Amino acid sequence: MQRCLQFVGIPLQCGRRVQGNEMSVIFERAGLVVTARSSAGTVTVDMGGAARGILEQAAQYGLYVRLQRAAALPQGSSDALKMAEIRKISDWYNSGATEWDIPKGPRENPFIGEVIRALAAVQGTTEDSARVFAVAKAEKLRVSLASWCQTTVARNSAVAAILAGDTGSDEDYGL
């Protein structure tokens, strides 16, 4: 049961303030106890005494909210990009992870970002669309995104020219 409670990880942070019409509520978490405080009083929920069904429902709801937040990208973001964010979380939890938060890993290779921007210019599309295109091609070829980018620069003179600073003419660009 303790393992399940750690996974639930009640996603409230100490001192998180939620404001309503005329009332401000501060949520605090200490282990399995969540306390809501306002000028109208204090309410405490001790998840340690909750029934298994409640804990299961809390885990399902917490995961549902987590996935929704992952898909909450800026307006105009593609569905494929939103699904990629959701997939990161899914892959993390399906890996048997015991931590709620995904550890911050190394940032993406800057070369990949440069190639994606050049590819977007060549395709006449957004960076998000170019990234989805590149990821799909890399997955289809079963190579890393970095490897696919290197191959693309070597084989596509338009992308290579943009990376070299030569914008060329519009008719030079095509895949």
Q: Are 116 and 131 in contact (CB under 8 A)?
A: yes
Range of weakest confidence among 62-66, 109-113, 143-147:
109-113
Tell me how many degrees the CA angle 2-8-79 measures, rounded to the nearest 5.
Answer: 150
For 104-171, the DSSP string reads: P-PPPPHHHHHHHHHHHHHHTS-HHHHHHHHHHHHHHHT--HHHHHHHHHHH-HHHHHHHTT----GG
pLDDT for 129 = 85
Kindly state the average pLDDT of the residues 40-63. 85
pLDDT for 66 = 86
| Between residues 8 and 164, the one the model is more confident about | 164
pLDDT band at residue 1 under the 50/70/90 scheme: very low
For residue range 65-114, what is the model confidence (pLDDT) as tens digits? 888 888 887 777 778 778 888 888 888 888 888 888 887 766 667 788 88
| pLDDT(16) > 80 | no
What pTM, to 2 d.p., does this model score? 0.43
For residue range 25-35, what is the model confidence (pLDDT) as tens digits? 677 777 778 78
% residues pLDDT > 70 (the chain) = 77
Q: What is the domain partition of the chain in residue ranges?
A: 2-94, 110-172
Q: Which of 42-51, 69-78, 146-155 has the highest mean pLDDT?
A: 146-155
For the stretch 154-158, contacts whose Cβ atoms lie closer than 8 Å and that sit 24 or more positions apart, written own/partner, are: 156/122, 158/122
| pLDDT(137) > 70 | yes
